Copies of this chain bind each other. A is one copy, B any other.
Amino acid sequence: MSTLEIRTLADVQASGDTRGVYIDQVGVGGLRYPIAVEGRDGNTQQTICEAELTVSLAAEVRGTHMSRFVEALHERRIGLSPHGVLDLTRHVALRLDAPAADVRLMFPFFVPRAAPVTGEEALLGIDCTYIARIAPGVTEINVGVRVPVTSLCPCSKEIADYSAHSQRGHVDLEVRQAAGQPELYPEDLLEVCDGAASAPVYPLLKRPDERHVTMLAYDQPAFVEDLARESAVALQADPRVASFRLEVSNQESIHDHQAIARVTWRRE
């Protein structure tokens, strides 16, 4: 097929539409792609994201051009800090000739973590999200993490003669960065989650470490409500945080369902 022939293929997407429905977001989702992410210390980490890239679509236009979203991510897949994702979002808007664009990248990010007594180190993966949005008058950068933690039930500790049930929980934070403030990184949010937990979780624990975290969790019991509030207090105290949504979910070891708590907050 010659270039001439390619150009003459009908562009159905560019045809008009009369139904009068503005589309908030249209694009691609569930796109798995290798990316390079910048962490707080400036180092780059190879990881794999699930990407969603969308633009708004005027009521008068029938369709968007899906291949350009993939091209945009392919071109800008290296050096993605939270601000880098904003640059990618601007690139998408430009490529698709759209007034508004959203990009959401979800990826595991690995941090070295030393066992608390022996100091032996291994890597802990946390789920991170970088989200950026541009629209007329709007420029937003959001950073999210989902961090596994240990929680130990204060009620169980209080009412039992000995021991208390503990379980794996997850703290999900999604933070909107305040304008004109230094960049917020997943490592910052990880510290918030660990600080709220009965104990952090570790990829590797030797016996003296296991002894330590067992007793630490018993010394710091926390309901889902406590995990939520401790996280909220820490985020409210950080001037880089414009607003946040958080969810805590405990995989109760005595039940087959979860205990959950949610808090949303916006700086006045």
Question: Taking beta carbons and an 8 Å cutoff, which residues of A are in contact with B?
Answer: 1, 5-6, 9-13, 17, 19-34, 46-48, 52, 54, 57, 62-64, 66-67, 70-71, 74, 108, 110, 117-118, 120, 122-125, 148, 150-156, 158-168, 199, 201-208, 210-211, 213-215, 217-218, 223-226, 228-230, 232-233, 249, 251-264
* B254 touching A13, Cβ below 8 Å: no
Which of A17, A201, A223, A254 has most B Cβ within 10 Å?
A254
Given A21-B229, A23-B229, output 20 extra A-B contacts at Cβ < 8 Å.
Answer: A6-B118, A6-B207, A9-B207, A10-B155, A23-B225, A23-B228, A24-B263, A25-B261, A25-B262, A32-B256, A52-B260, A156-B214, A160-B214, A160-B215, A160-B218, A161-B215, A162-B162, A164-B214, A201-B253, A201-B256
Give chain B nearest CB distance to A28 CB in angstroms. Answer: 5
B163 pairs with A203, CB closer than 8 A: no
Least distance between A12 CB and chain B CB atoms (Å): 5
Question: A7 to chain B: closest CB distance in Å?
Answer: 9
Closest 5 CB pairs of A and B: A46-B46, A163-B218, A160-B214, A31-B257, A21-B229
A93 to B218, CA, bound (A): 32
Please state if B159 and A26 are interface contacts (CB–CB under 8 Å): no
Q: How many monomers of this chain does the complex have? A: 4
CA–CA, A242 and B117, complex, Å = 48
Known: A150-B253, A203-B256, A260-B52. A26 touches B214 (CB 8 A): no
Q: Is the interface of A mostly helix, strand, loop or mixed?
A: mixed
A-B contact pairs, 6 of them (CB 8 A): A27-B259, A67-B206, A74-B123, A159-B214, A165-B214, A201-B255
Closest to A118 in B: B6
Partner of A10, one of B108, B158, B256: B158
How far, in angstroms, from A22 to B13 measured CA to CA in the complex? 45
Q: Which residue of B lies closest to A229 (CB)?
A: B21
Quick one: closest B residue to A75, CB to CB?
A: B122
In the complex the two chains form, is A260's CB within 8 Å of B70's CB? no
A254: chain B residues within 8 A (beta carbon) = 150, 199, 201-202, 205, 210, 213-214
A167 CB contact (under 8 Å) in B21, B54, B161, B253 = B253
Q: Which of B6, B13, B21, B33 sits near A125, CB closer than 8 Å?
A: B33
Shortest CB-to-CB span from A19 to chain B, Å, is 5
Residues of B within 8 A of A29 (CB): 249, 257-260
Q: How far is the CA of A48 from the CA of B26 in the complex (A)?
A: 29
Q: How far is the CB of A160 from chain B (nearest CB, A)?
A: 4
